[in-house]
Every structure is written in C-alpha cells, then in structure tokens.
Structure 1
Amino acid sequence: MIEAVRRVTLRGFGRLAGLGRRDDRRQTPIVPPGNVAGRALMTVIGIMTFLASLTLGAVTLVSDTASVWESQISREITAQVRPDDGLDMAAALETVRQIALATPGIAGVQVMDDAATGRLLSPWLGEGLDLDDLPVPRLVLIAIDEDAPPDFTALRTRLIAAVPQASLDDHRAWVSRLVTMANATVLVGAAILALVMIATILTVVFATRGAMTGNRHIIEVLHFVGARASFIANEFQGHFLRLGLVGAMVGGSAAVLVFLLMGLWTRANQATPEADQISALFGSFAIGWTGYVGVIVLVATVGGLTAFTSRLTVKRQLAAIDMISPVEG
C-alpha cells in the first residue's frame, strides 16, 4: 500500500508540475482496472442496457405497428358472408365481389380462399379443415381508395339487399381499441425505460463510492498534497466510462441479436398459424432503422451517464473530505 501511495503521489506531483518527461514504467492507476467490483458493475450495466434496449425496441415496434393499424383503417375493409341453409356460398361470394367492384372508391376485391381461411382457424380447430363440412363464415377483403373512399353505408345496404347473409365491417372500432392499447403500452415502456436508467445511475453512484472507499488513502494523499479535484475526477471518469461503454455495448448487442433472431424466425415460419398471429400483431417483428439507431443512442447515453455520474460523485466526495480536517488531535 505504501509503495502504491508513493507511486500514485509521484504521478500526481508530475501532472501538477507539468513535467514533460514520461516514466517508462507503467504507472499505477488510482482505480484498479480489472478488480472484481469493476467486472460486477460492467455486468450490471450490461444487464440494465439489455433490458432498456429490449424495452426501447418493443416500444418502437408497438408504436410502428400502431401506425400501420391506423393506416390500414383507411386501406381495407372486410365483407363477411355467413353460411345458411340453401345458400350457395360460392355464388354469394361472387355476388359480393361484383357489387364491391362496381362501387366507386373500391380499389380491389379478393375472396379469401380455403387455404387462407384454414390457416386463420387452425390455432383453434387444428390442421386439415374441410370448410365444406363446417358452418364457417367466409371473408371478402375489399381494398379502398384512400383519396376517394366509398360510401360505406350505401355499400352495406346494397350487399345486404343482394345477399342477406352478408355484413360489412370497416374495423374502425376494433382498430381504435388496439391503437389505444398500443399507446398505453408505449407509455408503460417509456416509464420502464426511465426506471432502468435511474437504477443504472444509482448503481454507478454506489460503485463509485465503493471504489473511492477502497482507494481512500491514495485519494486523500493526492488531494491533500495539492492534486486538483478535476484530476482525480478524470481518473474515475475514464475508468467508469470504459466500464459503462463495454457493458452497454454488450447489452445493446444482445438485445439487437434477440430482435434479429425473432425477425428471422418469423420469416422462416411464414404461412404457419404462429407466424400469422405474430405478423398480424407486429408485422415482420423488425424494429427498423429507427430502433437500431435508438439502441446505439441508448448505448452512448448509458456510457456517458456512467462517466458523468462517476465524476459528480467523486467531486461530492472530495468536497466532503475538504470539510473534514486532515489532522486530528
């Protein structure tokens, strides 16, 4: 300990006096670079950044999906034909298709085939469904012109007059509830992100105080012989900046990998019930370039917060040391 104090003190004197000569020997840093506490802090920062990145990615994903849902309101509606005794389903679907195509403001019409209907029902009824033996309503997807939408009331009236078993759904009530839920999810995610960042700051504060306590004698010697608070704070700031950046990059990279793997899984399992449900809710499960940029900004923010918090903590601790007389009795 005495030798360490001597070397660190000489280093402090050298910097204070502005000596231009450099010692060839490796100088002892104030904060040991590879101690157990440092590795533990880096692990905690990595975990916090991983959770924060997942939260940020999820918020971005839900927000983008909510925007897509709102856009889909103005792009597509659905006509449903319910089975009935004596109803020729194929003829009824064709009638609905012809009426929709003849309506101004309709951009396209597609009758959902048996394969697509079976995929929608397979999570509840299993695979290999024979729709001819089941009283399953059939759907007709109607794409509308966003610039000149049709008169939905008139279209609904004509459909019901031609096919009494038909109904028209513009999805507005359903999508409105989903968008409200998505907005609430975004708010919750933002609150979780703020809590994770606060927890990270508190962790750095305690880690900095612990590092100062473990090296208190060296710090006090340097401080009392004239080393400026900025010099000591810079030592801690550089140490914790490295820890913060390394931990944040590991955590952020792990979160990005999770989203990439989920996107690959979704694309590899297309046309399956599970992938169809995920695609309906989250699209391709890709957070997009905004999400990746957000993760990069988050990593830089965590590293900067770690260094800044450490610097403020060191200066406060040194101010508290100045209030205590170095010589007692």
Structure 2
Amino acid sequence: MAKVWVVVEAKEGQIKKVTYEMIGLASQLGEVEAVVVGSGVKDLAPGLGAYGVGKVYVVDQPELAEYTTARYTRVLAELIGQEQPAKVLIANTAQGRDFAPRVAQRLGLGQISDVTGYEQGQFVRPIYSGKALAQAEAVAAQAIITVRPNVFNAVSAGAGTAEVVERTVALQPNDLLEVVREVAKQVSVRPELTEANIICSGGRGLKEPANFKLIEDLADVLGAAVGASRAAVDAGWRHHSFQVGQTGKTVSPQVYFAIGISGAIQHLAGMGSSKVIVAINKDPEANIFKVADYGIVGDLFEVVPVLTEELRKALA
C-alpha cells in the first residue's frame, strides 16, 4: 500500500483541526504516516497513532522554533526525498501555501492545490474564483496535495500509538538568512477564522467601523468568528487578517452569515464552499443572494439586532 504523508500543522503546542481532516483524507489514499516539524514538538507525535497514523517522523530542532520558508522547505524536501511517500498532504493555510510549492519545485513534483473533495480516485478543486469545480488526478508516482480546511470530516480518536522516528536535518547557511525577530499575535476569545464552524462577516453596508458591534454581538451569541469583506478592510474598518475572499482568507464553515455584503466575485471565491450561507442585504438584486441558502431582504440595522436577540433566547 502506498505511503501517504500528512504534514502536521500545530500552533502553540496544539495540533490544528485541519491535521485530523487531512488524516481522514489520507486514509482513503493509502497507509497514513505523518511529519511533525518544529522545536519542542516531539510530544505531539505518539498521540497521532490514536487517529490511525502508523508512523510519525519528527524533526525537533531549536532552529525550527519559528516558521521560516527556507527552513521548512529544506526539512520537508529532504525527508520526502529520502522516504519517497506517494502523496504528501499539506494544509492550504497561509503557512502551507507558502512552503508547499517550494517543496514541489525543489523535488520536481506536481502539485494539486486547494483540494475540497475526493471522488473516484480524483481530487476536486475550485477554479475560476470558485465558479466551477475541476477534477484532477496525480498521474506521477509522487505529488504534493494542499487541502482546504473545514471541508473534510476530521477523524475521531480511537486506540493505538504511532511509531516515532526522530530525524535531524542539517540546515544550510542560506536556510538561516531569514530571522524571526518578533511574532505579533492578535488575542481573541473568538474562534480562528479559517477553522470556525460559524462565521459572521460584515461589509460596506455597515456604513462605519463602529457598526461592526452588530456583527460582534451576533458572533458572540453563536460562538462564531468575525470576518469582513475586502471593501470593509480597504476602508480601514477591520485589519486584513479578518478579510474573507480571494485576496484574504478562504473559509469553509458550516454556516456563513454575509451581512451588508454585496457578493463580489472575489468575496465569493473565499466563502463559496460554506455549507450554509445566510445573506442579509437591503438590495434584493445583490449578487450574494444568488449563492445564499437563506436570504433576508431588509435593513441590517433592523434585522441583525432582532436576529441576535431571538438567537440569544433560543440558545439560552
């Protein structure tokens, strides 16, 4: 059976949910193995066996404490070159999108990006800003696959432990040119945008930044993340880290609230794979209603407070 690697993505010592989603996909492709890269991360490896991972390769070195493109590319390219897995699954996050194509280029491998499905031996991915779906097949013996978070079912924990193989990779002088001086963190009690099950996003229809309080109140009732359209971000109402869309973050929540958002194609490209889309807009011709599962034509300043209050009562 072909070996399929899952590159574990972790943050502050915690494995991110997308890793377990990739393990679920990998189990359909072959014998599941994993790779953990970082500093102080070896304790993450054994527990992966409970999710069906047979072997975990661990590269735990002080130089890998902070992510840099060159170092992760070096480590993964060397490991893949040595062990020759058939498929390597990498999360289609900001970090994964950064190093995955570099690993593919260094090894001369093909890459299928932003996979959202797997059907009859073919990978499914959106094209033309999400307006169509393409089927792609990895015909070579090896390939890099990047997987969109929140689209595959995460595997549940069972029994078992994984075989842990510790490796050391000699980093070259050129790999050490990037130096991380500081990591700026945004502290929030709300879920991380790309992993949230529910997202409440606001757009230009909010009229001014202070009115994002309406979005935040609704999000807090639902335990949701807060997002924003490009128009709201360009206006300075929200930091770019909140932006959902082709030039922002790609999300796939169970429920996506688009409030005061017209539905420009670049925004739809970032949230079109949401399971359920709820649109609130006073313009009945707004493009967002073409993709919405539920739509409310009305003034958001009247609709959202009532919706928030009714949901608060229902969830109390």
Shorter-normalised TM range: under 0.3
Relative to total residues, which structure has the larger strand share, 1 or 2?
2
Relative to total residues, which structure has the larger helix share, 1 or 2?
1
Q: TM-score, normalised by structure 1?
A: 0.19
User: Looking at both structures, which has the greater relative contact order when contacts are Cα pairs under 8 Å and sequence separation is at least 6?
Assistant: 1
